[in-house]
A and B are shown apart, each in its own frame.
Chain A
Amino acid sequence: MRFLAYLRSLGGKFLHSSSLSDEMEEELASHMQHRADDLEGSGLDRAEAERRARIEFGGQQRFKEECHEALGGNLIEGLVNDVRHSLRSLRKSPGFTFAAVATLALAIGANAVVFSVMNAFLLRPLEVPHADSLYALWRSEAGDAHMSYPDYLDLQNRNRTFDGLVAFNMTEAGLTAGDNPTPVWVYETSGNYFDALRLQPYLGHFFHGSDEHGANSAPYAVLTYPTFHTRFHDDPGVIGRTVQINKHPFTIIGVAPPDFHGTILFFSPDLFVPIVDQEQVEGQNLLNARNNRWVFMVMGHPKAGITKAQAVADLNSISTYLAQAYSQDDGKTTLTLARPSLYGDYLGRPVRAFMSALMMLAGLILLAACANLGSLFAARAADRSREVALRLALGSSRRRILRSLFTEAVLISIVGGAVGLLGSVMLLHALSAWQPFPRWPIHLGVNPDANVYILALLLSLVSGFLFGAVPVRQILRTNPYEVVKAGASGVIAGSAGKRLSVRDLLLVVQIAICAVLVTSSLVAVRGLMRSLHNDFGFDSQNTLMVETDLSLANYKAQDVPAMQKRMIEALAAIPGVESVGVADGIPLAEGQGDSNVFTDQTADLRPSNVAADANMYKISPDCLRAAGTVLLAGRSLTWHDDQSAPRVAIVNQEFARRLFGSTEKAVGGYFKMPDGMRIQVVGVVEQGKYGSLTEDPQTAMFLPILQWPSSHTWLVMRSQRDPQQLGPTVRAALHRLDAALPLYVETRYQAMDLVLFGPRMATISLGVLGVMGAILSITGIFGMAAYTVSRRVRELGIRIALGAPRKGVLQAALGRSVKLLAFGSTAGLLLGILASRVLGFIVYQATPRDPLVLAGVVLAMSLLGLLATWIPAQRALRIDPLVLLREE
């Protein structure tokens, strides 16, 4: 009951807080009136009596506060009071408040953004039920998850530890729904895909394992929600409708749940079709090819009560059996379980490494911001030492003063955190909506969730207490009598004489952190610059690419070579085009093929005897010349290398070295394909980059496209003309041949977008963090320098009056700041060099031992220092001793 009454009084107090204050006021006034009445009675006049009564009563405000406390609920009441007081005192120094809030907003915002990305990529599971128990089958030796379809079927049928294994593959197809065919991204999935993933349709129904009755037996399509939304305008009547996928009729039977974006992050499909329809969707049937590992990933939930180890043992017993039963096609394969969302460790490892590094840097930013704010607060507390001393002298407790100080710090941190979070949410929404590659269904779903908000709040509070704690000692040591006697400046002069104050230390720490950030971002930028001007094994300048797939435009296999030749001729006729070639894929772009190759001496062509897994490009004669790839030995391909001619190939240096020992020995030599076909090497080209910028030397072979026809077509054009201007001409020329041809015209760099995405993102994010670090160090140094100057105006004035030279004045005013800056920068640079090793994982050729980077960091930090001390220096030089004297 007592507690209830307390609560009521608390509630009542809140509701009538102001009336309560009025009442208290009235009561105290009444007291003084009564006292004045008595004093008047003893012979004083009224005014004097009232004055005396007020004096006798004592500090009204203090007693009122004590009354409030005595009334209980003083925690909340006191908090409200503290907040009000803090707001008042912050309003009095808008510059300080703005600087503090902005600093913190930057730091918290950066952390929120980095954490959201990490949260979305690493912490948040796939949008399927029980995602935590969903595993992909990972081939340890190969380092990927690819399977052949027959192997998948064996694994699915023979395992006893999984609640169904599902398979899926991603491909592009032309979708016709009443209008012209448009390219869409398709997941070809096993029939049990939706059932085993335990998904429920948003509309209609899904296809099931029971729908599969051999090749092309299940012409059903399930739409993703975004496709349903944008392409079919949320029309429920779409269920049951027949659409054409690569000219084959498919019935739309359902729509997947809105938040389901497929079973690998980043790559969102447009629709799902059964994998047994592969021939209709891709134009080829590999359902029975045990040696072709085209299935992108196989995954499943282990049965309840089955441990990971049991599941792995079960899978490997099947894998061993497969290697024995089909030794021609299946080598020894160790299967493990991996997380599907980032394709096991393939994307997972670099993303994890990078995000952790980024999170660390963002944490450093926050730390630097806290150090920055800490020294601002300490300076402010020193400035207010008079006020603090007065309050202490008037009977306020130190606890009370500390409490208001912390309230101020937390208030700033919360406002800063809110502003930062707001900014980061806007940025994240933009990022989520962003489609970095128009050509690819890649989305970065990084919208913030509750985790992010909680983290931002926690970080705000923690940093508030962190920087709020800096001036605590200062306040606890304040001796009111000394301060009031000496005046504020006297006390500061005393503490400035110390060798190293907390403020100095904080400044050094902050500058060091900022120097680390600046170093890292410079290392990253430099690495990216280098990787862009590296030797790729082709000329990235003056090259224009056109990508198309003739099968999407419904060309029959036998018509493809003729059409490709006509396309080459059409483009070669454009003025300014020097050479044109065709390839089925190009290095450092997506969709390249590869094949095992064997030495000519190998008789037993089983996978374990393989000589190399070579990247495979099917090219037209002029292609290498158009791409700017240098032929080192032998001849290039000709139009005579066709179906009736002996099989030939051009290989790269690594291929020559690995299979033949050297470039010279390779020309004229033979190697074997997995089906036993012998191919003669007629030429060797320079080494290039094929899969990624950071790869070790890879083997590659270039086969005549007339001997290895492919409908997937990259046209490679060499021209000195401006690509912007050439693009439309090229498009027009090709559309004159076939108006329905889907075309992507891009420069060589654009074609490398996917490969460069990682390094670019890394560079951008590190660059942004570097800039933030720079801003923080500017504000930090500026604050310190400006503060020093303002505290020592009198001393500097005297120096000037006594005829000190400008240099001397500057040295006296800013020497300390500059020294701290130099010290912090050196420490930061050294740390940055150590930290850059981490960057080496992500950013190509990121080495801090680069004189340009070192010089850049030194230059950047000096510039920052100059910038930050400029205004205080000007102020110090402009001090007019006469004005000062008058003020005193």
Chain B
Amino acid sequence: MTDQAQILPGTLDLLILKAVSLGPLHGYGVLLRIGQISGRALLIEQGALYPALFRLVRQGLLTASWGTSENNRRAKFYELTATGRKRLREETDGWNRLAAAIGSALAAQPEEV
């Protein structure tokens, strides 16, 4: 488990939006997808996913509907709304800017100061 990193606070929403943007998913599916796209590098507490999902639904970024999963079980599927798509774009840009800034800050050498 040491190779998995705790996710930064506030990034779970972004990850969920990204995961769902690749196609409708149920809760467990979101978890698997995040694992998949992050190369199993990020650790998400399973139960903690749901408050986040509910929050995103309430903010109108996701919609939910019941359906049948690939295991032939009843499950609630989440889909990105238009607002959600827009938010994902914004947050992705924001994240990239932040990551770039922190990256360049950390790469700074003594002679550059």
Using CB atoms and an 8 Å cutoff, list the residues of chain A in contact with chain B.
9, 23-24, 26-28, 30-31, 33-35, 37, 56-60, 62-63, 66-67, 69-72
Contact = CB atoms under 8 A, between A and B. Distances in A.
Interface of B: 26-29, 45-48, 50-52, 54-55, 58, 69, 71, 73-76
Contacts of B69: 30, 34
B50 A28 contact: yes
B28 A66 contact: no
A59 B27 contact: no
A35 B54 CA distance: 20
Secondary structure at chain A's binding surface: helix, strand, loop or mixed?
A: helix
A34 B47 contact: no
Contact of A66 (B27, B51, B73, B75): B51
A31 B27 contact: yes
A718 to B, nearest CB: 91
A286 B54 CA distance: 89
Contacts of A59: 47
Contacts of A9: 58
A17 B28 CA distance: 24
9 contacts: A23-B76, A24-B50, A27-B50, A28-B47, A30-B75, A58-B47, A62-B47, A70-B52, A71-B54
A58 B28 contact: no
Contacts of A58: 45-48
Contact of A30 (B46, B55, B76): B76
A31 B51 CA distance: 14
Contacts of A33: 71, 73
Contacts of A71: 54-55, 58
A70 B75 CA distance: 20
A9 B54 CA distance: 13
A70 B54 contact: yes
B47 A35 contact: no
Contact of A27 (B27, B29, B48, B71): B27
A66 B48 CA distance: 9
B51 A34 contact: no
Contacts of B51: 63, 66-67, 69-70
A31 B74 CA distance: 10
Nearest to A37: B71
B12 to A, nearest CB: 12
Given A26-B74, A71-B58, A63 B50 contact: yes
Contact of A60 (B26, B47, B55): B47
Given A30-B74, A60-B47, 4 more contacts: A30-B69, A34-B26, A34-B28, A69-B51
Quick one: which of B29, B47, B73, B74 has the most chain A CB within 10 A?
A: B47
A522 B84 CA distance: 76
B91 to A, nearest CB: 18
A9 B55 CA distance: 13
Nearest to A23: B76
Nearest to A2: B60
B74 A72 contact: no
Contacts of B27: 27, 30-31
Given A58-B48, A59-B47, A70 B73 contact: no
Contact of B54 (A26, A37, A67): A67
B54 A31 contact: no
A23 B69 CA distance: 16
Given A58-B46, A63-B48, A30 B26 contact: yes
Nearest to B76: A27
B46 A35 contact: yes
A30 B29 CA distance: 11
Nearest to B55: A70
Nearest to A65: B51
A679 B69 CA distance: 119
B47 A63 contact: yes
A681 B46 CA distance: 109
Quick one: which of A33, A34, A69, A71 has the most chain B CB within 10 A?
A: A34
A69 B69 CA distance: 27
A26 B50 CA distance: 12
A34 B71 CA distance: 7
A30 B58 contact: no
Contacts of B55: 70-71
A56 B74 CA distance: 21
Contacts of B54: 67, 70-71
B34 to A, nearest CB: 14
A37 B70 CA distance: 11
Contacts of B71: 33-34, 37
A31 B28 contact: yes
Quick one: which of A23, A30, A31, A56 has the most chain B CB within 10 A?
A: A31
A722 B54 CA distance: 86
A371 to B, nearest CB: 41
A9 B73 CA distance: 28
B50 A56 contact: no
Contacts of A37: 71, 73
Contacts of A31: 26-28, 46, 50, 75
Contacts of B45: 58
A763 B50 CA distance: 66
A72 B58 contact: yes
Nearest to B64: A27
